[in-house]
């Protein structure tokens, strides 16, 4: 229903106690909404307290990771402000959200992540690199200055 944008069916299913809002296997409705950049559908899914914020797709990617990689700013913001979200999580790549945002050169997303009081600026990936190292390696001077 999420894939087809069937709002009424999604609302109906979210209201049922016997329906898992996370779907089966790697076909999590939230993943589908994020990949389609359907912010309204993702917002609807997140109204259900049983919706998991970090279901993984078949590649092991989670919603915030996908939104950051694709540059879906509004989607990433929606996921970040959810109380179930952890801005310091480590993705399957070994990178944090801040490192990933720095690697894509997304200045706005870097600023948004830095505005979170819980962000760990000096978190290191599997190579020992921080977001600043990543920005410098990619030659993103503006991002490096922000960091």
Same domain, 120 and 69: no
Last residue of a domain, one of 60, 85, 110: 85
Whether residue 30 has pLDDT greater than 90: no
Same domain, 98 and 139: yes
Question: What does the pLDDT read at residue 100?
Answer: 93
Mean per-residue pLDDT, 88-113:
92
Which CATH number belongs to the domain containing residue 37 in this structure? 1.25.40.20
Whether residue 147 has pLDDT greater than 80: yes
Last residue of a domain, one of 39, 69, 85: 85
Confidence tier at 1 by pLDDT (50, 70, 90): low
Same domain, 60 and 98: no
Same domain, 16 and 50: yes
Same domain, 81 and 11: yes
Question: What does the pLDDT read at residue 4?
Answer: 61
Q: Are 147 and 102 in contact (CB under 8 A)?
A: yes
Neighbours of 119 (CB within 10 A): 18
Domain assignment of residue 77, given as a range: 1-85
Same domain, 70 and 118: no
Question: What does the pLDDT read at residue 7?
Answer: 61
Cα distances (Å, whole numbers) of residue 85 to 18, 107, 119, 129: 25, 21, 12, 23
Question: What does the pLDDT read at residue 92?
Answer: 87
Q: What is the pTM of this model?
A: 0.82
Same domain, 59 and 99: no
Question: What does the pLDDT read at residue 50?
Answer: 85
Mean per-residue pLDDT, 57-82:
91
Number of domains in the chain: 2
Q: Output DSSP code: residue 135.
A: H
Whether residue 25 has pLDDT greater than 60: no
């Amino acid at each position: 229903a999420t894939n087809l944008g069937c709002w009424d069916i999604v609302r109906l299913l979210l209201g049922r106690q016997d329906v898992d809002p996370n779907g089966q296997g790697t076909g999590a409705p939230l993943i589908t909404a994020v990949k389609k950049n359907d912010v309204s559908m993702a917002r609807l899914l997140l109204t259900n307290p049983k919706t998991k914020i970090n279901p993984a797709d078949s590649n092991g990617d989670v919603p915030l990771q996908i939104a950051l990689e694709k540059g879906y700013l509004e989607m990433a913001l929606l996921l970040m402000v959810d109380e179930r979200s952890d801005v310091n999580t480590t993705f399957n790549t070994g990178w944090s959200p801040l490192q990933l945002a720095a690697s894509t050169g997304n200045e706005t997303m870097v600023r948004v992540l830095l505005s979170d009081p819980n962000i760990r600026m000096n978190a290191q990936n599997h190579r020992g690199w921080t977001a600043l190292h990543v920005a410098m390696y990619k030659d993103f001077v503006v991002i490096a200055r922000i960091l």
